[in-house]
Structure 1
Amino acid sequence: MVDIAQQAAIKPASARHAVAAPALVPLKSIESGQWRALAQRAVEPNGYYLPGWALAVSATARGRTDASALAAFDGSSKRLIGLMPVTSLRRAWKIPLPALVSAHPYGTLCSPLIDRDATVEAAASLLRQAREAGAHALVLNDVALDGAAMNALKQVLDRDGLKPRVLSSYIRASLDATQDSETLLRDALGTKKLKELRRQRHRLEEHGPVVFDVARKPEEITPALETFLQLEASGWKGKRGTALLQHAGDATFIRRAIPALAETAQCEIITLRAGTTPVAAGIVLRHQDRAFFFKLGIDERFARYSPGVQLTLDLTRHLCADPAISSADSTASADHPMINPIWRERFAIGDVLIPLRRHDPVVALIHGALVGLNVAHEAARRVIRLLRK
């Protein structure tokens, strides 16, 4: 069976000329100026679909290259008003059924970019193009279930008599950065826990003055990124073979993406040092008024001092003190043991199946295949957890 892109390519000539632009286009063909302008107007921020990040992922990241896109344009001005990076269901999960899946951006958020000034028009155009590409369904992974982008899609689906189906969901930690940081931390952790963390920090100071550093400028970002990569590879991710440095494509992607975002002030690398020794580092993306805590690496020789928690406390203070940031997405898994006790706000993230045609039996096949896939994945995760114990 051919995949979605091939199906679109072999339509009769009359069908191909019935639309003004191809239903699917290479992600790299989207004009960068238009993309950046859309990101500024997006109804919901998503740091992982910024052009500097998403194009680096699609160019080199392991298993994520050569993504396609559904792109919506305003009918009169030809202004880009919607963007949804996608791949075929066959390519994503080896399921040979006619569906498109949100292209995974090496982050845990795939909410599409939708123009706040044309939400319904953009959402309708994205769904229409998916149909024209031959898809019977869209599968959106890791979307904010109550976010503005999903609400725009729901509005169009409701108008067309269609209902999305939530395949799986979980509650994720976030930060309300409009609060006073010290009050927030005291309410979240309590005085006893904060006292213990202060004691650990004093012990860490025996190795040298403890300094929290934020790299923003392009010339600062490159050395800070290498520090982060070394820390990540030195810890448990390195032992499991999942550190960015351990895969050439992933290392190339991150070394392209971070400087690109630094050029537009949409990335920071935070580092905690004891004297001259970096003990923890993290990558933070910024889009509109929201921050995204991408990854954290620590020097496990200092584990007794909770360096990851210490870094997160400083990041919390840093974000709460920044008037440009009102919230932060932890981009963490459910019940994350480190971030959940500190960032106490919550929102729902899920995988959603969007049917594109009414009373379509193919959608039921797609739904059944995805449910079976989720069951298999969960069984595999249980086995892995047991083996690790």
Structure 2
Amino acid sequence: MQEADVVDISQGTPVPRSASHNAVPHLLPSITALDAQAWRDLAGRVVEPNGYYLPEWTLAANGDDRGRSVTHALMAYDSSGQLTGLLPVLSCWHAFRLPLPVLVSADPFRSLDTPLLDREDGLQAATSLLAQARATGARALLLRDVARDGEAMQMLSRAAQAEGLKPVLLRGWSRACLDATRDSEELLRDALGGKRLKEYRRLMRRLGDHGEVRFSLAQTPEDVARAYDVFLALEASGWKGRRGTALLHRPELAARLREAAVALAARGACEIVQLRAGDEAIAAGIVLRHGDRAYFFKLGIAEQHARLSPGVLLTLELTRHLCADPAIKLVDSTAAPDHPMIDPIWRGRFAVGDVLIPLRPRDPLFGPITLALRGREALRQRAKQLLKR
């Protein structure tokens, strides 16, 4: 079946078939072909951290047959050949099944797509990433789930504006984050109040009826490997297991992420936290680390203890743990906006958005592209609302 043109219904401007999904990322290297050590070195020098774009995690998340074949990388280098910028990308066809000449930041979990930019040469790196995207024939670069107010986005905006290009915010939202520089007890009192904290202490005592309650950290590769399997079982015991979306139902992906978690633990970039009652695991969560930030990736709880709010109890202990760590300043919850569990506890807000950057000044195709992507997002949000009902 032929692909129809995408039309701006307000202006009647078609996106021609010649500007299809075939026009873009084949000119870029696959992420599997990148020098992992150069990638790790860049991650240690970035202007803004992103634990989800550490090489071990990115390669695991995009590591199935399809991901390896369609996930490429925009890269920037300085005059000495040192890697100074990196952004994994897909074509718009592979991301959305839309035949648009757009490169889209790659992240199957929709976690955080902030590019890695060298702190010493970030503006030049941002300029080079845009130039490389343009050289593929793409007409726009879509950054999904990017930190809107972060330094990396500021540098990309400056690089775009220097070329007469104006980025467009397609959708913006905020999610919970933790200011880990604060005293944890003061922060929790401010967020929850004395009455609710007293109730959570009561639930912790109730949990103690099943054995001594302990908050534990898995930080060595060996401990993380064992704790990861505990997390998988807990996640699959709840609604994600019933819906079939738990990682345990995707064994190849679960195995790749397990390897990534173990490898990152060897570099101090991953830990798994657990709440146990006696010998029983009640809740577990995966936490990534990069620079002065941490990222709460996923949480699994023992469904049979749901009435005791194990996810909340684990999050309270995680809050105390991370606030006590001088290396961590901010923790991204990676949660959906208005999340009912974590929003009342972590009252900070992390601004995230989908930002579309044109790659040519006054490009007549940019308007139709913007309209098509906004229309797709509107349909996606409507579908999510209907599913919730």
- TM-score interval for Structure 1 and Structure 2 normalised by the shorter chain: over 0.9
Q: Specify which of 30, 35, 55 is matched with residue 51 of structure 1.
A: 55
Shift of the 50–61 alpha-carbon distance from structure 1 to 2, 3 Å rule, reads farther
Q: Does 1:128 align with 2:144?
A: no
SS of the aligned residue for 2:352 comes to strand
Identity score, percent: 54
Q: Give the aligned partner of residue 180 of structure 1.
A: 183
Residue 55 of structure 2 aligns with an amino acid whose one-letter code is: P
1:338-380 CA deviation, whole Å, 9 max, x = no partner? 1111111112100011100011111112111111101211221
Q: Is the 8 A contact 1:62 1:250 kept in 2?
A: no
Residue 145 of structure 2 aligns with an amino acid whose one-letter code is: D
Unaligned runs of 5+ in 2: 1-16
Quick one: distance in 2 between partners of 1:347 and 1:204? 32
1:29-85 CA deviation, whole Å, 9 max, x = no partner? 1111110110011111100000110011121288686410001000x2100000000
Q: Is the 8 A contact 2:282 2:301 kept in 1?
A: yes
Q: Following superposition of structure 1 onto structure 2, how do residues 229-308 of structure 1 map, counting pairs within 5 Å?
A: 229-308=232-311
**Superposition deviation, residue 200 in structure 1:** 0.5
Shift of the 133–286 alpha-carbon distance from structure 1 to 2, 3 Å rule, reads same
**Superposition deviation, residue 5 in structure 1:** 8.2
**What's the Cα RMSD here?**
1.7
Give the structure-1-normalised TM-score: 0.93
1:132-163 CA deviation, whole Å, 9 max, x = no partner? 01100001100011111100001111111111
Q: Give the aligned partner of residue 14 of structure 1.
A: none
SS of the aligned residue for 1:111 comes to coil
Q: Following superposition of structure 1 onto structure 2, how do residues 1-389 of structure 1 map, counting pairs within 5 Å?
A: 6-7=22-23, 24-60=28-64, 66-74=70-78, 76-386=79-389
SS of the aligned residue for 2:341 comes to coil
1:83-125 CA deviation, whole Å, 9 max, x = no partner? 0000000111011111100001525100000001001100000
Q: Give the aligned partner of residue 19 of structure 1.
A: none
Q: Give the aligned partner of residue 18 of structure 1.
A: none
**Superposition deviation, residue 2 in structure 1:** 7.7
Shift of the 4–248 alpha-carbon distance from structure 1 to 2, 3 Å rule, reads farther
Quick one: distance in 2 between partners of 1:86 and 1:364? 22
Q: Is the 8 A contact 1:3 1:88 kept in 2?
A: no
Give the structure-2-normalised TM-score: 0.93
SS of the aligned residue for 1:41 comes to coil
SS of the aligned residue for 1:134 comes to coil
**Superposition deviation, residue 249 in structure 1:** 3.2
Q: 4+ residue stretches of structure 1 with deviation over 6 A?
A: 2-5, 61-65
1:308-360 CA deviation, whole Å, 9 max, x = no partner? 00000000000011111111000111001111111111121000111000111
SS of the aligned residue for 2:181 comes to coil
Residue 303 of structure 1 aligns with an amino acid whose one-letter code is: A
Shift of the 5–260 alpha-carbon distance from structure 1 to 2, 3 Å rule, reads farther
Q: Is the 8 A contact 1:57 1:64 kept in 2?
A: no
SS of the aligned residue for 1:35 comes to helix
Shift of the 132–144 alpha-carbon distance from structure 1 to 2, 3 Å rule, reads same
Shift of the 332–127 alpha-carbon distance from structure 1 to 2, 3 Å rule, reads same
SS of the aligned residue for 2:255 comes to helix
Shift of the 29–378 alpha-carbon distance from structure 1 to 2, 3 Å rule, reads same
Quick one: distance in 1 between partners of 2:20 and 2:50? 26
SS of the aligned residue for 1:59 comes to coil
Residue 300 of structure 1 aligns with an amino acid whose one-letter code is: E
Deviates more, 1:342-351 or 1:120-129: 342-351
Q: Is the 8 A contact 1:107 1:294 kept in 2?
A: no
Quick one: distance in 2 between partners of 1:253 and 1:370? 31
Q: Is the 8 A contact 2:272 2:287 kept in 1?
A: yes
SS of the aligned residue for 2:63 comes to helix
1:278-318 CA deviation, whole Å, 9 max, x = no partner? 01000000000100000000001111111000000000000
Shift of the 80–313 alpha-carbon distance from structure 1 to 2, 3 Å rule, reads same
Residue 37 of structure 2 aligns with an amino acid whose one-letter code is: G
**Superposition deviation, residue 253 in structure 1:** 2.4
